[in-house]
Amino acid sequence: MMRQYPLEKYRDIGIIAHIDAGKTTVSERILFYTGISHRIGEVHEGQAIMDWMEQEKERGITITAAATTCFWTPTYQLKEAKDDTEKQKIRQSYEHRINIIDTPGHIDFTVEVQRSLRVLDGAVVIFDGVAGVEPQSETVWHQADKYKVPRICFINKLDRLGANFENSFLSIQEKLNPNAVVAQIPIGAESTFEGVVDLLKMRAYYFEGEHGEKIVEKEIPDSLKEEAERKRTILVEKIAESDEKLTEKYLNGKELKEDELRAALRKATINSEIIPVFCGSALKNKGIQLMLDAVLEYLPSPIDVVELKPITGTNPKTEETIVRQPSDSEPFTALAFKVATDPFVGNLTYFRVYSGSLEKGTYILNSSNGNSERIGRIVRMHANHREEVDNMYAGDLGAIVGLKNTSTGDTLCDPNNSIVLEKITFPEPVIHVRVEPKTKADQEKMSFAMHRLAEEDPTFRISGDPDTGETIIAGMGELHLEIIV
């Protein structure tokens, strides 16, 4: 099957945050508004699509990174459509493919965030509107810095008692990046929160209907006009500073058009010179559609990040540097970022295609260990559901069923054009615990299971005490080991 969407209309993004900031609730709304799911799965009811593991449903937290794909057309484009036929034409021209990874927020599962950010081009960082920046917010932010991942911020839970947009925003500026700038302001607060103001359009947006699916555009309320003008001036000045031509126009008193400002803000966001901040309440179905618009407008496609993060590797024989372009016509190059065992299909190797294409039935080389393997089945993952596909192209995230000799961080490539990409580095375990099986007969089973888990999770280690013969397991924290055991 041929590529359905051009590469410039791809967005490979992660949803990252401190635990309980509302990441998975945001992801569930994204799936609903993009039409992937026809019901909203609530985390507190154990119904979230992206939290599919039993332990995740029981605890109401994300433990493993879950991938999915959805499609979005900017709301401001569809607004112009007079009927369904016109909407379809607009979608054909403007619809984007968004590959999403929803990551855990608990520090014990930081490996899931790290390996996800390694293969993503952008991120949406979610903040609790009551708490602002929290400890794990800082951890994931620094991980995104490490992998040069451009990001936008979404201050969530503005409907909650004690929510304060301004304080949360200031905590981002002070603790994470002084270049954060407000792109939206909330209308109302706590129980009276009802919408947002877009500071570039200078329009107010409200979300009506049972699930906030109807977006209503209005004039900015009189009570907010002064604040909106003041915040817009700060935003425009910040954008103008990032672009020489706009700086000159601004200093000469010329009007900066909205299109110019959006283009400059996109460029500055991709270069991490500006971090735009948006807001809403995922639980109350407010602000998510406009956040999706921002993902398309300001986060990069795989083509946009080439200068920032070139696709470079080494020739395993000569150790010469090799550069690949994000194009289907280049040799196939991919990185295996996760290995997992599926109870129904066996080994699943999650991978990101950086260049070229992969076809079912062909052979690939694992250049990290020198093994060649035939590709039997390729699947696109939707949480724990699998969609069989025949091909994967540059920019795609998918999984291969049944690879026997591939580990997390291995490079998969064209056998005739070998390249080894930089591996993923992981933190060392911080806690060690002695474990023993219930009976001696279970020793072999336990050992096999533990070693299998260690292959899947690079932060989980297993060793033996030479003096006592006891088995010692190590991980990132008590919860990490509790979930594994």
Query: 208 and 183: one domain?
Result: yes
Looking from the CA of 296 toward its CB, the CA atoms found within 13 Å total: 19
The length of the chain, given as a count of residues: 485
Mean pLDDT, range 237-246, rounded to an integer: 95
Q: Let me know if residue 106 belongs to a domain.
A: yes
175 has pLDDT over 90: yes
Mean pLDDT comparison of 1-15, 406-420, 436-450, 462-476, highest-scoring range: 406-420
Two tokens, residue 166: 């301004």
Q: Let me know if residue 27 belongs to a domain.
A: yes
Distance CA 253, CA 270 (A): 27
Between 343 and 153, the higher pLDDT residue: 153
Instruction: State residue 479's pLDDT score.
Output: 66
Instruction: Place 386 in a pLDDT band, splitting at 50, 70 and 90.
Output: confident
54 has pLDDT over 60: no
> What is the 3-state composition of the chain as percent helix, strand, coil, each rounded to the nearest 5?
30, 30, 40
Query: 28 and 126: one domain?
Result: yes
Between 3 and 464, the higher pLDDT residue: 3
Q: What are the distances in angstroms from CA 389 to CA 70, 353, 400?
A: 16, 14, 10
Between 390 and 115, the higher pLDDT residue: 390
Picking from 274, 298, 322, the residue at the C-terminal end of a domain is 298
pLDDT, tens only, 203-215: 999 999 999 999 9
CB contact at 8 A, 303 and 83: no
Between 472 and 280, the higher pLDDT residue: 280
Instruction: Place 106 in a pLDDT band, splitting at 50, 70 and 90.
Output: low
Indicate the average pLDDT of the chain.
88
Tell the residue number behind the tokens 């500073």, with chain if given: 241
Query: 37 and 137: one domain?
Result: yes
Distance CA 306, CA 300 (A): 10
Q: Let me know if residue 393 belongs to a domain.
A: yes
CA angle (479 as vertex; 126, 431 as ends), nearest 5:
115
- For the chain, percent of residues with pLDDT exceeding 90: 62
Tell me, what CATH number does 277's domain have?
A: 3.40.50.300
Mean pLDDT, range 280-285, rounded to an integer: 96
Query: How many independent structural domains does the chain possess?
Result: 3
Q: Let me know if residue 304 belongs to a domain.
A: no
Q: Which residues contact 283 (CB under 8 A, 6 or more apart)?
A: 22, 25, 157, 159
Query: 174 and 280: one domain?
Result: yes
Distance CA 11, CA 25 (A): 20
- For the chain, percent of residues with pLDDT exceeding 70: 87
Query: 327 and 448: one domain?
Result: no
Between 148 and 470, the higher pLDDT residue: 148
218 has pLDDT over 90: yes
Two tokens, residue 49: 């699509």
Q: Let me know if residue 340 belongs to a domain.
A: yes
CA angle (101 as vertex; 26, 134 as ends), nearest 5:
60
Mean pLDDT, range 340-350, rounded to an integer: 83
Tell me, what CATH number does 440's domain have?
A: 3.30.70.870
Instruction: Place 61 in a pLDDT band, splitting at 50, 70 and 90.
Output: very low
Mean pLDDT, range 421-430, rounded to an integer: 81
Instruction: State residue 1's pLDDT score.
Output: 63
CA 174, 180, 186, 189: dihedral to nearest 10 degrees? -10
Which of 397, 386, 409 shows the shortest CA–CA distance to 457? 409
Query: 36 and 175: one domain?
Result: yes
393 is in which domain, residue-wise? 311-421
55 has pLDDT over 50: no
Q: Let me know if residue 168 belongs to a domain.
A: yes
Instruction: State residue 51's pLDDT score.
Output: 42
Picking from 421, 446, 474, the residue at the C-terminal end of a domain is 421
Between 431 and 52, the higher pLDDT residue: 431
385 has pLDDT over 50: yes
Instruction: State residue 57's pLDDT score.
Output: 40
56 has pLDDT over 50: no
Instruction: Place 432 in a pLDDT band, splitting at 50, 70 and 90.
Output: confident
CB contact at 8 A, 187 and 284: no
Mean pLDDT, range 444-462, rounded to an integer: 70
Two tokens, residue 383: 């949480």
Mean pLDDT comparison of 65-74, 114-123, 178-187, 343-352, highest-scoring range: 178-187
Distance CA 201, CA 219 (A): 11
Mean pLDDT, range 428-451, rounded to an integer: 72
Two tokens, residue 81: 């459509």
